[in-house]
Each structure stands twice: as structure tokens, then as C-alpha cells.
A and B are shown apart, each in its own frame.
Chain A
Amino acid sequence: MSVRLRQILDCFEGVIPSVIATVDADGTPNVSYLSQVWFVDDEHVALSNQFFSKTAANVAATGQATVLVVDGRTGAQYMLDLAWVRSEAAGDLFDRMAAHLEAISTVHGTEQVMQLRSAEVYRVRICSPVPGNPIQLPEEQAHARGDRLPAAARLAGEIAAETDADAMIQRLLDGLGEAFGYEHAMVLVPELQADRLITLASRGYHAGGAGAETPMGRGAVGIAAKTGRAVRLCDMSRGRRLARAVESQAELDEGRTIPLPGLAEPQSQLAAPMLVQGQVSGVLFAEASERFRFGREDEQILSLLGAQLAASLRLAELEARSARAAAAAPAAPAQAQRSFQVRHYAFDDSVFIDGDYVIKGVPGRLLAHFLRQHLADGRRTFTNREIRLDASLRLPELKDNLETRLILLRRRLDERAGPVRLARPGRGVIELVLDGAPSLETVAA
């Protein structure tokens, strides 16, 4: 009896190690464990060529391999009789496998990234169940329901209908919960010059975490950003403790960082790049404490929504550039008695209010700029356009993402609930909302 590969996709998630056996020309067998077998299509699988030198030599001699794969959910075992077809050292399959391996090794804390040399593609001659498999239970997973494409299209349409950048992000996060049951999700944007990603908004965490950082190239989010490919992890029990150790030693200055929101013990993670014109403009991330929470379809859904959000944000950015300020808002009546102290460190643009860290990088520079202007001439209203043109702000990295930095700053200030907030009275307009009288001290580099 041969089983269709599509019926046993949970064998190809890399949760339970597979076994590969080959024979040499003399009939001497070789057997070793294999971290993952990749599903290619109903007739093909791919194996990663990393270190398996004896296996590779045997396959070169005989053209054959036998592989035992295990369903990570049920434990069911299947034997695959494989015939080697070709080796791919580039292309979509290779890139997908390389991104996944890199994510695995950073999440599992493996110091040495296992370099993928090639994707070895095999035709599956027979896929047979090993006797003793459990009786398959009917699919109960929410993500196996068939009504999710319409839901994804609906949510993409709702994002496309929004004109305000912050509302797009909020609609996406709400929609992920309502339509797909993603309880924990984040939107992050790259801070290219600092080689890190910053949290813009989140749902389902105790702390909102706007402004929290995570390194580029590490973990599901970092790899999705670096490679522009979705990363999905189904069972993180193996590497969780190691991952924690890696995170804790990351070179972050404790006094100048916001803790990244996240589940204490995630089992499933999914990160999809927000691609626009071939560039990664952000990452959508979801996680869960159950194993196998996200399937292939979730990966596709999140990628599709990521592309929609990226395109909509880009359009909002372009529109905000041309918007002009409405008649200057009348200066708010001075109702504030209390005063507060703001300190801006030029070397990393970090801003502290009354000694507490607020934000750094571009949003920090923007906040310092607004306050400086306000103290100089009493202004409270600014436009995207003038910010972009202001040479003193030195904002080359803002070419395409001033809006997201303003959203980040605004959300961070709201989450802090401190004496400074930002309001958006109109498209492309920012209003400084103060509860008290600020003093600003800039500490030179």
C-alpha cells in the first residue's frame, strides 16, 4: 500500500528526526539520523546535503536511499523508497530549506549555522506505513478548515480599505485574532542601520512592547527579515531552553531596551516577511503555546497579509508626504503645572523622561526634535513633509518609512502613559500632546 505524501505532511516538519539508510556498492549499509525531510510535491521529497558524506557517496553509487519519516503529531511511521533525481544549489526549494535551517539553528542556539550545500531531490517510489501506526484521528485542527481563503481575502480587503497607517496595522492584528484565532501576534519593522527589528504593535501580550527590539538574522523573526522567506516552527520543545540562553546574552544594554513581548514557552512560531517591491519592509509574527499550531496554509495566509500590509503602508507613506498641515492648531491653554525632564543622548538617540528609558534610534530623534521645536517656538503641530525635508534630522533611513516610525513612537508613548503623547489630527500631521512643561537636555556623543 502506498500512501500519498500529501496525506502525511506532518512527517515533513522536522519535529521527530528521520532515519536514512543507504548501501555501498558492496552491500554494506549505512544508517543515520536526519533532522528533516522536505515535502516537494506528491512524488518528490528533498533532503539537505550538509554533513552526510557516507550517505552521499552511497547515493552516488546506487542512486537509492531508504528513509523512515515520523509524524510529529501522532508518532506514525512511514518508509520511503527513494530514487535520486537531482541536486539543487539555488532556487526556491534551496532558499526555503536554507532559511528554515538557519532559523532552526538560531532558535535552537546552535552556534555554528549548518550551511546547506544543496537540496537533494528524490522521487518517492513507494511510501508505505510501518505496521503498528496509531489509528488516524479525524483532523481537529482549526487550521485545517476549508474556509480560510475567503477569510484571508476579506481581511486583506479590509486592510486595503484603510487610509490611516495605524488603523491598517490595528485591523490586521485584530483580524488575525478574529478570523484565524491567532492569540499572540506582532508587527515588527527593520531598523537597517542598527541590524535589528523593532516591534511596532502587538496583540495578546501582557505588555504591548512597542519599541522592543530583536536582532536581525536570529530566530524566526530575524531570519524571515533577513531572507525574505516565511519561517514556521512546529515544536520548539527541543531548543527552547537553549534559545533562551542565546537571547539573554544578546548584546543589549538593559537600561536602553524594552523587553520583547513573547510567550514564555512557545511551541509554535510563524514569521512572514512584509514584502513590497521585493524588499522586506517588516515581519508579521504569530506564536502559540501548542505544538503544530501553524500549518502550511497559515504560512501562506500570513505571507499574503504581510504583502497587503506592506503595500498599503507604502501607499499611506506616499500620501502622507504631500499632506500639508491644516491651519496651525491654536496653542493649547497652559493648564499644566507639573514639569518633567527629558534627556536625549545623541550617540544612540535614546530619550529618557524623568530618568526612565522611552525609546531610541529614529523615533527617539523625532521625539527630541518635536520637543526642541516646541520649546523654541511653542509649536505643537508638525507635518510629515517638513520632517522629511528637515536636514537637521539627518533621516536618510526614513526614505520610505517615516509613517511606521511615527506609529511606533506614538504607540510607545501611549503604552507608557507618560506626560508626552502624539496625536494625529489629520493625514500627514502630528500633534505633540503634553501634560506638563518639559525641559530638554541633549547629551552630546
Chain B
Amino acid sequence: MAIGQAAEAKLAAFLAGPVMLVASVADPAARAATIGRVMGVRRAPPASLDLFIAGGQWTRMVESVRVGQALALTLCRPATYQTLQLKGPVTALVRADPAGAAVAHGYAEVTGAHLGALGVDASQMRPWLRTDDLVQVTFTPQEAFEQTPGPHAGSPMAFG
């Protein structure tokens, strides 16, 4: 099952511009959630996304993630706080290859420039944009949720 046309269109719009990305998977041992920042997204046809995560930084998440496990990805536009959350199973897990690393570096550059334009210091954003020890997590979104702060946050988007 894909996320539907409306959500797909929204996802495409988010991926076209500067976006902050955070992901979570469960740490099954602790029944708790882990958090990691995602350094870029690449389409993995037909309906999956490759996510790049600095493995040395988000260790608990990278140690917890398994193929078949559910993953949540939240995309947020820093200038407007418009937010979209996708959920679906992890389908593959590998160390990022050079092409993947290039996606992550490009993401860090574009995002850094955008945050800079919003008034964030370069030194301040450095910890959020690390691209060392990159891991590539592929997942297939199956659900999409409107998450922009406000009364509609959390409502599922129409499937179609």
C-alpha cells in the first residue's frame, strides 16, 4: 500500500525545498523510542525512500533499527513549521555508498544555507548537520499524517 496521491504530492513538495528531518524507531529492549536526525532523502522506486543517518552520532537509533521494523519520519519546513509524518516498515539497511554520501552532503549544504538565512549561526547548526559514518536506511511509507502544529496535527491524510 502506498501513501496515496495527496500525501505523495505533499511529500514531493517537502522534498523539493529545504526541510528538517527526524526519524524514530523503537528500541525493543526498552519499549522506548529512539531519535535520529536524517541527512537527506533519496527516492528508491517504486515506493520507498532511502534515508541517510550519521551512525556515529545517533548510535542508539542505528543500533536499534532492523529490517521489518516500523519507522517514523517527520519532515518540517523550518521557515513555516509545516510538518508531515510518514510511517512504514524498514526494508533495507546498509552502509551508505559514495552516491548516498553525496546526497547527504548536498542536503547538509542546502539545509545549512537555509538555516543561515533564517538567522542560525554556522557554529550553532554544525551539530545538527553531521554526515560522518553514514548509514542508509530504506523504508516504505504506508501512512502519512498532517503534523503542522495546530488542531489538525496528527490527523491521517486522505488515501486515494
Contact = CB atoms under 8 A, between A and B. Distances in A.
A5 B118 CA distance: 28
Contacts of B154: 51-54
B72 A134 contact: no
A19 to B, nearest CB: 5
A51 B150 contact: yes
A248 B32 CA distance: 47
A130 B31 CA distance: 20
A26 to B, nearest CB: 8
A131 B124 contact: no
A228 B130 CA distance: 43
Contacts of B151: 51
Contacts, number: 128
B83 A32 contact: yes
B45 interface: no
Nearest to B58: A130
A22 B124 CA distance: 27
B136 interface: no
Interface size class of B (residues with CB under 8 A): 35 or more
Contact of A21 (B35, B119, B125): B35
Interface string B41-74: 0000000000000101111100000000111111
A23 B35 contact: no
A67 B127 CA distance: 16
A113 B30 CA distance: 37
Given A52-B154, A237-B118, A75 B126 contact: yes
A28 B60 CA distance: 16
A132 B83 contact: no
A146 interface: no
Contact of A31 (B22, B120, B153): B22
Nearest to A66: B33
A288 to B, nearest CB: 16
B153 A77 contact: no
11 contacts: A28-B70, A28-B87, A51-B153, A52-B153, A62-B32, A66-B32, A73-B124, A75-B126, A112-B150, A131-B56, A132-B54
Interface of B: 22-26, 28, 30-35, 54, 56-60, 69-74, 76, 81, 83, 85, 87, 118-121, 123-128, 130, 145, 147, 149-151, 153-154
The 10 closest A-B pairs by CB, nearest first: A21-B33, A75-B124, A21-B24, A31-B24, A29-B24, A237-B119, A27-B26, A28-B70, A29-B72, A51-B153
